[in-house]
Amino acid sequence: MLIYPKAELCKRAAYYLWDGSGTRPFGIRKYLCQAISDAAKDIGMHKEIASQVVSTIERRIYPHITLESWLLWRVPEAEITPERVQAHRLAWLKQLELEFRNEPKG
């Protein structure tokens, strides 16, 4: 049993998330929630844990559906590139991993 399952899920999801360089390889995801879902399936994690992580992301970007549209609401469009959006997605995963590691156990 994992001590910090949501943190471990975020760490594993980074392997499934495109880094923004070059052409996105087959099986590598553009979106955070897809990468989280793939990682959960890969490690046999209960769907409820993945749903909790996805819900955290959805609450933070609401009313937007994607992180990219959330960024466009906050950052001048000229500064938004696919590479920067993906870098931001990866940074979110790392930040979520840290937050979930600091969550009270129980």
Which pLDDT tens digit goes with each residue over 53-97? Answer: 999 999 999 999 999 999 999 989 899 998 999 999 999 999 999
Which pLDDT tens digit goes with each residue over 35-61? Answer: 999 999 998 888 999 999 999 999 999
Question: How far is residue 8's CA from residue 12's CA, in Å, rounded to a whole number?
Answer: 6
Question: How far is residue 103's CA from residue 90's CA, in Å, rounded to a whole number?
Answer: 20
| Spans of all domains in the chain | 5-101
Residue 1 has pLDDT above 60, yes or no: no
Asked if omega into 76 is within 30° of 0 (cis), the reply is no
pTM: 0.87
